[in-house]
Every structure is written in C-alpha cells, then in structure tokens.
C-alpha cells in the first residue's frame, strides 16, 4: 500500500510541479561566444536572406496579362507553279489578328484548283490494287486521302490504286522544298503590345512605356544594348537570341518562345517596373530524334468558279510559330507577412538559450558543477538556497 502511495505521489509531482527559469551567470568566454554567434547567425538569416533576398515582409500578387501582335513585312517569290508573287501579312501570318501566338510561313507545298471529285490515291503499300476486289467501297483511312469508291483505277501506266472521293487533284507532299521560300521573312518585324495588371495592388502598366512617343515607335527596333524598351522586334534577332539560325529553322519550322517577365518590387521601384524580354526555342531540337521534326500544318483558301463550282487552294505551310509567354510576381509591404516573419525570428532567438545550455551541460569540463547549480529542487519541508560564485 505504501508503494502504491509513493507511485501516486511521484506521478502527482510530475503533473503539478512548476518549473521556473533560474538565472545562472557563468563568466565563460567560450559559452558567451557560442551564444552571441548563434544570435548573429539568426539575425543575418532574418535580415539578409528573409528580408533582403526573399522579401518575406511583402504581400505578393501574380500578373494578369493581355497581348496583341502586329507583323509587318513583304516578300517576293518566283516559282514554276505560281510564278512571280508578292506576299504580305494577309498571306504569311496566321492567324491574321495576332494574339499570344502567331505563325509566320517560310515554306509551303501548294496544291491549286482542287475540286470535290473522284481520283486514284497516291501509290503506297496500303493503296495499290490489282482489281476492284482489293478496294472497299465506303472505307476511309484516317491517314489516307478520302473515302474509297470500291474501284481500282490506273494511277500511271504501271501502277493501279484504289479510287477515292476527295479533293482532287490530291496533294503531293512527298518531296517538299528543301529550301525556305520566304527567305525575306527574317526581316519582318512584329509589334508586341502587352498590358498587365496586379489587381491586389491596383497596379497597371503597358510595355509601351510612358516615355515612348509616336515618332520613337515608328523608328525604333528592340536592341538589348541601345533600345531595350522598344516593343518592335525583328524576327531574325528573336531567333538569333534564342540560339538559332533563322534560315536553318525556316526549312522545317519550329517554335520560339518570347518571354516577358514583369517581376517588380512595388515598395520603392514602382516607377521602374519594366518588362524584361528573353527568347528561347521551345520545340525539341535533337539530332538523334528526327521523326516529325519542325512545325507545319494545312489550311485552304476557297473560291467559286463562274459556273458556281467550289474550288480551293490547299497549302501545307512550314514556318516558325512565336508564342508570347508573360509571367511575373509583384511584391509590396504587408503588415501580416511582416508580423509572421517577426514572430518566426523571435521564436528562433528564443531557442538560442536552449542551444547554449546544451553546450554548457554537455561539452564543458565543469558540466557537473554547472548542472548542480542549474537545477534546484524545492520541497515544502526543506529550504534549498542556491549558491553563486
């Protein structure tokens, strides 16, 4: 019974005993250096990294952006199937009304005067035939040229293929041009108009900055050294800054990213919140993987003949797509993040005495003496008086 009572009493001590801090002054240079060094590291981390580098005292907001583009330039070509022809923005820029992405045609395969009729397919292992039994009426191969009629027709004097109902004559793109047609496209220019807002801070800005006037805009061209604020870019310079040669890229096409960074500090430098431009190639350029390289697509222009028949010109366009990517984060002083980070700093500082006590009671030669004076237990029937040196 006495043992049970003793155990209960010990448990009550652990539950209801009160511990209070005790100041123990130790004239030790080593412990003092450890204590002050820990404080210095905490302050350097808080002021140098948290405040200066991370700006954790600021509220932040992400940019909301709108972009429009306008390409200008002309190119003259002279080919056997089309003859001399002048190309302007209505011909080579897709879509006509530029948004965050626009495509500039540099090479094409043109199939003119197509009408909906019947014609034999291009020869391939899946389209060649001997008689009508090799062709299935109504069959449509998604990678073919149309819907089969069930007839086997002469494609040439030596080859027969299944006839299809399609836009005829069929496109022949097995031998696309090896060189870019619109070589002058490298000198085309694009005007990028970009408006951004940070709604949390009610901050609005355009990349056409307040000091830019009409006369400057009509004559300037972006140059990182001399005209970094001009929003007009020459396509050759964009591709060059992305680390590519325009004429090489124009043969098979590709994708270039125009990156606009609007990261700003709105506490002191709101008036100097300017866009920062950079350029990168976005599609994969790997010489070891040459399957489906570059960038191309098809579109058609439709016409009506005098007798009312619908015809079209099919164009398989190769070229460079330019994607405009806008990002950024703005920061401004906020009381809530400031209080949070101040509280975190005070919490770190409160841990320093615990670290110093651990060093004192673990690593010092007189740790037993320090432990004896560090912890004192007071009971109701005894009076313990601490001894100081």
Binding-site entries for ATP: 70-72, 189, 296-298, 316
- Is residue 133 within 8 A of residue 104, CB to CB? The reply is no
Cα–Cα separations (whole angstroms), residue 375 to 30, 279, 300, 368, 371 = 21, 66, 90, 11, 6
As annotated, the binding site includes 70-72, 189, 296-298, 316
Cα–Cα separations (whole angstroms), residue 386 to 207, 290, 362, 376 = 72, 84, 21, 7
Cα–Cα nearest to 43, from 335, 345, 350, 338: 345
- Here the tokens at position 354 are 């615990």
- Is residue 119 within 8 A of residue 170, CB to CB? The reply is yes
Chain centroid, CA 232 distance in Å: 22
H-run or E-run covering 94: strand 93-94
Q: Which residues contact 71 (CB under 8 A, 6 or more apart)?
A: 89, 93, 98, 102, 104, 188, 189, 190, 191
Cα–Cα nearest to 342, from 355, 333, 354, 331: 333
């Amino acid at each position: 019974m006495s043992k049970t009572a003793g155990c209960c009493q010990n448990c009550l001590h652990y539950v209801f005993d009160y511990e209070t801090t005790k100041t123990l002054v130790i004239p030790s240079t080593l412990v003092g250096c450890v204590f002050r060094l820990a404080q210095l590291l905490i302050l350097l981390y808080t002021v140098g990294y948290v405040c200066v580098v991370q700006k954790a005292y600021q509220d932040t907001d992400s940019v909301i952006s709108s972009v429009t583009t306008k390409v200008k330039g002309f190119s003259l070509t002279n080919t056997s199937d089309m003859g001399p022809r002048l190309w302007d923005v209505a011909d080579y820029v897709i879509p006509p009304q530029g948004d965050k992405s626009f495509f500039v045609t540099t090479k094409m395969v043109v199939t003119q005067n197509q009408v909906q009729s019947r014609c034999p397919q291009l020869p391939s292992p899946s389209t060649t035939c001997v008689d009508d039994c090799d062709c299935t009426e109504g069959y449509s191969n998604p990678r073919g040229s149309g819907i089969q009629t069930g007839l086997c027709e002469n494609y040439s004097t030596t080859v027969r293929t299944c006839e299809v109902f399609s836009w005829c004559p069929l496109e022949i793109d097995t031998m696309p041009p090896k060189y870019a047609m619109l070589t002058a496209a490298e000198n085309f220019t694009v005007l990028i108009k970009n408006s951004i807002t940070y709604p949390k801070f009610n901050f609005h800005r355009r990349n056409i900055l307040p000091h830019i006037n009409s006369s400057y805009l009509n004559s300037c061209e972006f140059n990182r050294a001399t005209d970094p604020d001009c929003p007009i870019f020459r396509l050759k310079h964009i591709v060059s800054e992305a680390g590519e040669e325009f004429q090489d890229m124009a043969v098979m096409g590709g994708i270039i990213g125009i990156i606009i960074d609007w990261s700003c500090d709105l506490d002191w430098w709101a008036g100097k919140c300017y866009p920062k431009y950079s350029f990168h190639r976005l599609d994969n350029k790997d010489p070891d993987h040459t399957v489906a390289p570059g960038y191309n697509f098809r579109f058609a222009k439709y016409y009506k003949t005098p007798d009312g028949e619908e015809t079209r010109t099919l164009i398989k366009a190769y070229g460079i797509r330019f994607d405009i990517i806008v990002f950024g984060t703005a920061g401004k002083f906020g009381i809530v993040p400031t209080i949070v980070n101040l509280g975190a700093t005070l919490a770190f500082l409160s841990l320093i005495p615990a670290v110093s006590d651990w060093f004192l009671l673990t690593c010092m030669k007189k740790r037993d003496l320090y432990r004896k004076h560090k912890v004192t237990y007071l009971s109701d029937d005894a009076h313990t008086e601490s001894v100081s040196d």
